[in-house]
Amino acid sequence: MEAKIEYTNGEVTVVWQPRICRHTGICARGLPMVFQPKERPWIKVENATTEAIIAQVKQCPSGALSFYMNADKPGPEAQEE
Q: What is the mean pLDDT of residues 52-62?
A: 97
Q: Which of 55, 53, 26, 28 is nearest to 39 (CA)?
A: 28
pLDDT exceeds cutoff 60 at 31: yes
Indicate the pLDDT class of residue 81, thresholds 50, 70 and 90: very low
Average of per-residue pLDDT across 32-38? 97
**Residue 5: beta bridge partners?**
16
pLDDT of 78 reads: 45
Question: Phi, psi (5° rounding) for residue 76?
Answer: -60, -35
The whole-angstrom distance between residue 18's C-alpha and the CA centroid of its chain comes to 11
Residue 20 three-state SS: helix
Q: What pTM did the predictor assign?
A: 0.86
Q: What is the average pLDDT score of the chain?
A: 91
